Amino acid sequence: MSYNALKIANAIIEKCYKKEINDISITKLHKLLYIVYGAYFYVNDNKLFDELPAYFQYGPIFKSLQIAYKKHEFVLQGQREIGAEVVNDNDLNIMIDKVLDTFGKYSAQQLSNWSHRDGSAWSKVDKMSDFWGVDIDEDLIKGEFAKIVTLTPDNEV
């Protein structure tokens, strides 16, 4: 099933609320969404949604989320309703939980530093492009997450 970035961002925020991860910012949300996207893509060999992350100054972002946020159509505070298709996707929920359990404790700055580390998909695009906003190639994303995702026999992260 293919989702959109805003639905998954809503699910991440709701799970952050439940896990008492209270320092969510748009930057941190983009990084957590990128990690969920990359891990899901690597594990399932299928993109979570059609939008590719884009190369920006503070790391990968999703343009649809950034635009909605800038237009005040997407807010970070408060509980939210998660669509039934997301709630009922057990694999996706496990993925989000594992990402939050691993990366949710880090600040936006720490996650930005992580996304900029040598060998990351972002750092490779940084060496190839002079322009912010270009899409990060899916092969670079798969290569990055192949190095950091540990698979268990039941194909979980």
- Residue 157 domain flag: no
CB 9 within 8 A of CB 29: yes
- 129: three-class secondary structure by DSSP: coil
Number of domains in the chain: 1
Q: Does the pLDDT value for residue 16 go beyond 80?
A: yes
Residue 153 lies in a domain: no
Q: How many angstroms separate the CA atoms of 44 and 147, rounded?
A: 15
Q: Which residue has the higher pLDDT, 64 or 154?
A: 64
- Domain assignment present for 156: no
Residue 155 lies in a domain: no
pTM, to two decimals: 0.89
8 A C-beta contact, residue 35 and residue 28: no
Specify if 126 maps to a domain. yes
Q: Give tens-digit pLDDT for 103-147.
A: 999 999 999 999 999 889 898 988 888 778 889 999 999 989 988
Q: What is the pLDDT of residue 157?
A: 38
Look at residue 117 and tell me if it is in a domain.
Answer: yes
**Domain interval for residue 134:** 5-148
Q: Is 65 helix (H, G, I), strand (E, B) or coil?
A: helix
Residue 124 lies in a domain: yes
- The per-residue pLDDT for 1 is 56
Structure tokens at 98: 């594992």
